[in-house]
Amino acid sequence: MLQLEPRLENSRVWIIATPVIAVLCTIIAGGAMFALLGINPVQATQTIFWAPLFDPELSAYARPQILVKAAPLILIAIGLSIGFRANIWNIGAEGQYVMGAIAAGAVGLAFYPLDAWYIFPLMFVAGLVGGAAWGFIPAMLKTRFGANEILVSLMLVYVAEHFLASVSLGFLRNPDGSGFPGSRNFQQYESAANPELIAGTGIHLGVIFAIFVVALAYALIRFHRFGYQVNLTGKSLRAARFSGVNPTKLTIACLCLSGALAGLAGMFELTGPAGQLTIDFNVGYGFTAIIVAFLGRLHPIGITAAGLLMALTYIGGELGQFMLNLPSAAIQAFQGMLLFFLLSLEFLTTYRIRFKLKRDA
C-alpha cells in the first residue's frame, strides 16, 4: 500500500528534480499527442524548448524576448504570491492589470502632446494607483462585509474588460485614428514611452523593474517583519493574531500590493511592447500569473524560473507553428499538460512516499 507522509522540511533534492521530471513527462505525453497528429515528436519538442534558446538564426532575438514576455508574468505573480502566502486569494489580477493600464494611459494622454520629463513618472504612479484601487475593492468588501475576495476579484475582471472596450471606443480613442478603435500609440509619444533600452533586444524598463521587484520580494519575505507576518498568517490566523498581526490591515495591504504590481505590469506593457490601448489589450497575463505563482511555489526565485519557463513555451510554441505547422491548439494542450505535470509532481517536495502494509481496514 502506498502512503503519503508529510515531510518535516521540504526536500531540496526534489525541489530541483520535480520540474525536470515534469518536463520529461510532458515531453513523453506531449510527444505522443504530436505523433498522433502526424508530427515528428522529437522535432516538435525540440522546437518548443530548444529553438528559442539555441537556434542559430533565432536565439539572439528570442532569448531576450523570453525576458520581455516573462516580465509581466513575474511582476504580477510576485504580488499575488505574497497574498497567497497569507491565504488571501486575489485572482482578479487580470482586471487590475487592465485598470492600471487604463489609468496610466488616461494620464499620459491628458498631457498629449506636451513634452515633459514628469509625464512618464506620473503614468507610473497612475498605473500603480489604478491597479491598487481595483485591488482595494475586494479588500474592502472582504474586511467590511466578509465577501469572498476570490469571487469579487474575479467578477471585477469582467467589469474591467467591459470598461476597457468602452474607453478604447470612447474617450481614449485616438482622435487622429480616422475612427478606428484604440488609443494613440504611446511608443510614438516620447514623453510617455517606455522604449527599448538595448537596441534589438526589446528589453524595456518593465523588465528591469521586474528583476528589482523579485529581489525586493526576496528581501521582504526573508528579512522584513511584513514577510514574517504574511507567512505566519498563512500558517495560522490565530497565532498571527496573538503576535499582533492586524488581519484587516494585512488583507488590504496584500490585495493593494498585488493590485499595484499588476497595474504597473499593465502600465509597462501599454507604454512599451503593446503601445496601444485597444479592446483586446489584455491577453491573460493576470490568469497565467496565478499559475506561475503556484508553479514557483510562491517563492520569488521559483516564480522567476516558472515565469521564464512559461515564456519559453509561448515563444517556442510560436516557432513551432510557423516552422513545423503545429496547430496552436496543440501547443495550448501541450502547455496544459506541462502545468498538470508540474502541479501534480509538486507533492514530492512536501511528502514522502512510503510503502506500507495495510494493517487495519
Partner 1 sequence: MKKILMLAAAFLLTASISSVADPLKVGFIYVGPTGDHGWTYEHDQGRIALEAALGDQIETSFVESVPEGADSERVLTQMALSGHDLIYTTSFGYMDPTINVAQKFPDVKFEHATGYKQADNVATYSARFYEGRAVIGHIAGRVTQSNVIGYIASFPIPEVIRGINSAYLHAKAVNPDVEMKIVWVFSWFDPAKEADAAQALIDQGADILMQHTDSPAAMNIAEDAGIFAFGQASDMSKFGPNAHLTAIINNWGPYYVERTNAVIDGTWTSGDTWDGIGAEMVKMGPMSDKIPAEVQQEAQALIAAIANGDYHPFTGPISRQDGSAWLNDGEIADDGTLLGMNFYVEGIEGDIPQ
Partner 2 sequence: MRDVEFLGINPAVFLSTMVVAAMPVLLAAMGELIVEKSGVLNLGVEGLMIIGAVCGFIVSVETGSPVAGLLGALLAGAILAGIFGLLTQYFHASQVATGLALTLFGLGLSALLGQSYTGIRPPDFSIPNFGVLSELPVIGILLFSYDFLVYFSLALVVGIWWFLNHSRTGLALRAIGENHNAAHSLGYHVIRVRLVAILFGGACGGLGGAYLALIRVPQWTEGMTAGAGWIALALVVFGSWRPFRVVLGAFLFGGVTLLQLNLQALGIAINPAYLSMTPYIVTIAALVVISGMGSHASLRAPACLGKPFDATK
Site residues (vs partner 2, CB under 8 A): 3-6, 37, 89, 91, 141, 145-148, 150-152, 154-156, 158-159, 162-163, 165-166, 169-170, 287, 290-291, 293-295, 327-337, 339-340, 343-347, 350-351
Selection from partner 1, partner 2, none that 202 binds (CB < 5 to 8 A by kind) is partner 1
Residue 107: is it exposed, middle or buried by C-beta count within 10 angstroms (0-12/13-18/19+)?
buried
Here the cell at position 270 is 501599454
CA distance 302 to 311: 14
If you write DSSP's letter for every residue of 124-184 in order, what string do you get?
HHHHHHHHHHHHHHHHHHHHHH---HHHHHHHHHHHHHHHHHHHHHTTTS-TTSTT-SS--
Here the cell at position 260 is 499595484
**Closer residue to partner 1, CB minimum distance, 71 or 213:** 71
* CB of 321 vs partner 1, minimal distance in Å: 4
**Closer residue to partner 2, CB minimum distance, 188 or 344:** 344
Selection from partner 2, partner 1, none that 125 binds (CB < 5 to 8 A by kind) is none
* CB of 282 vs partner 2, minimal distance in Å: 13
Q: Which one-letter DSSP state was computed for residue 2?
A: E
User: What's phi and psi for 313, nearest 5 deg?
Assistant: -70, -30
**Closer residue to partner 2, CB minimum distance, 119 or 310:** 310
CB 15 within 8 A of CB 331: no
Residue holding cell 481614449? 172
**Closer residue to partner 1, CB minimum distance, 93 or 137:** 93
Here the cell at position 48 is 518548443
Selection from partner 1, partner 2, none that 61 binds (CB < 5 to 8 A by kind) is partner 1
If you write DSSP's letter for every residue of 247-304 in order, what string do you get?
HHHHHHHHHHHHHHHHHHHHHHHIIIII-S--TT---SHHHHHHHHHHHTTT-HHHHH
* Secondary structure class of 355 (helix, strand, coil): strand
**Closer residue to partner 1, CB minimum distance, 61 or 111:** 61
Selection from partner 2, partner 1, none that 25 binds (CB < 5 to 8 A by kind) is none
User: What's phi and psi for 6, nearest 5 deg?
Assistant: -65, 140
**Closer residue to partner 1, CB minimum distance, 14 or 285:** 285
* Secondary structure class of 325 (helix, strand, coil): coil
Which residues in this chain contact partner 1 in the complex, by CB under 8 A?
57-58, 61-62, 65, 68-69, 162, 165, 169-170, 178-182, 185, 187, 202, 269, 272-276, 278-281, 283, 315, 318-319, 321-323, 325, 327-329
CA distance 22 to 124: 38
Selection from partner 2, partner 1, none that 248 binds (CB < 5 to 8 A by kind) is none
Selection from partner 1, partner 2, none that 70 binds (CB < 5 to 8 A by kind) is none
**Closer residue to partner 1, CB minimum distance, 113 or 327:** 327
Selection from partner 2, partner 1, none that 264 binds (CB < 5 to 8 A by kind) is none
Closest by CA position to 274, among listed 215, 193, 170, 211: 193
* CB of 141 vs partner 2, minimal distance in Å: 5
* CB of 4 vs partner 1, minimal distance in Å: 39
**Closer residue to partner 1, CB minimum distance, 100 or 138:** 100
Selection from partner 2, partner 1, none that 273 binds (CB < 5 to 8 A by kind) is partner 1
Here the cell at position 56 is 542559430
**Closer residue to partner 2, CB minimum distance, 125 or 159:** 159
* CB of 188 vs partner 1, minimal distance in Å: 8
* CB of 138 vs partner 1, minimal distance in Å: 25
